[in-house]
Amino acid sequence: MQGKHIAITGPTAGIGRSASLEFARRGAQLTLFCRNLEKAETLQREIIAQGGLAPDIILMDMADLGSVRRAGEALLARAETLDVLLNNAGVVNTTRKETVDGYEETLAVNHFAPFLLTGLLLPLLLKTPKARIVNVSSHAHTFVKSMGYEDMQATEKFRAFREYGRSKLANILFTKYLAEQLKGQGVTVNCLHPGAVATSLGTQNGGFVSRNLPRLLKPFFRSPDQGAQTSIYLCCSDEVADVSGEYFVNCKRKRPKPWAQNTVEADRLWAYTERCLDFEYPFAKLG
């Protein structure tokens, strides 16, 4: 990855941190999209200390679409190329929370934000030979069988596993649709399940369970370094340089559930998301 430019969301903890350190070790130039400047600077110093190139830091709050827009525009202004975009950040909530834009936070952070960021950075990716988009999804897409448009924002009833599962289903449908649209344009799009990983995901929720569950389950989970392997593989390996629109588990292709392969649902979700964000992908201009 010497000389390659990789942008990553959620790089300061868990599998994002592990992936960032490995990318830097391989010689990549990193752009870190972070909400917390202090944590970002700590990671920046760690990367420099291990001999890596000093990463660029762009502040971004994925629960604020305005912040996502500003972050995307900032990278467009700074960079000439982008080899890899790793949409890694995610959230799981035990109670319903609403973003500043009025959307249910799980769907907004896990789907709306990466959808918007990817669209904003697409011109940069299309300028780069064999660029890659990698989306971290999850086996949690098996928790649901549809996006549930009748209560997409969970205003009538909130169920933590259902909302998280829908957001991860959205990641796969987004991947499938985007890969189809970008056929023949030199950019691949894939997604993955990192496995059950001992990370900080969910610890932002209050209460005894949220504080202690990760510690109690840690012996049964893989480490962040182990969980990051499929992300690293999809971002770096020559084996998947021309593979697009696929779902990976343990660095191998795997068929997701049938409802995650439904092209009609992928079309519907794409249209719904563009309406919510008031943002259209510039396919017509770039094709």
Give the number of other Cβ atoms within 10 Å of residue 130's Cβ: 12
d(CA 18, CA 222): 13
- Enumerate the active-site residues: 164
Query: How long, in residues, is the chain?
Result: 287
pTM beyond 0.75, yes or no: yes
Q: Which residues contact 180 (CB under 8 A, 6 or more apart)?
A: 245, 263
Q: Which residues contact 235 (CB under 8 A, 6 or more apart)?
A: 1, 6, 19, 23, 84, 86, 132, 134
Kindly report the CA angle at 244 between 243 and 246, in degrees rounded to 5?
A: 100
CA 147 vs CA 45, 96, 177, 268, 275: distances in Å: 41, 17, 15, 10, 16
Residue with tokens 């500043």: 100
d(CA 54, CA 280): 34
Supply the DSSP symbol for 80: S
End-to-end CA distance of the chain: 28
Give residue 221's pLDDT: 57
User: How would you write the pLDDT of the chain (287 residues) with one tens digit per residue?
Assistant: 999 999 999 999 999 999 999 999 999 999 999 999 999 999 999 999 999 999 999 999 999 999 999 999 999 999 999 999 999 999 999 999 999 999 999 999 999 999 999 999 999 999 999 999 999 999 999 999 999 999 999 999 999 999 999 999 999 999 999 999 999 999 999 999 997 655 544 444 455 545 544 554 444 456 888 889 999 999 999 999 999 999 999 999 999 999 999 999 999 999 999 999 999 998 744 44
Q: Which CATH superfamily is domain 5-193+224-286 in?
A: NAD(P)-binding Rossmann-like Domain (3.40.50.720)
Across 246-264, b (16+ Cβ under 10 Å) vs e yields bbbeeeeeeebbebbebee
d(CA 77, CA 217): 43
How is residue 159 written in tokens? 């169920």
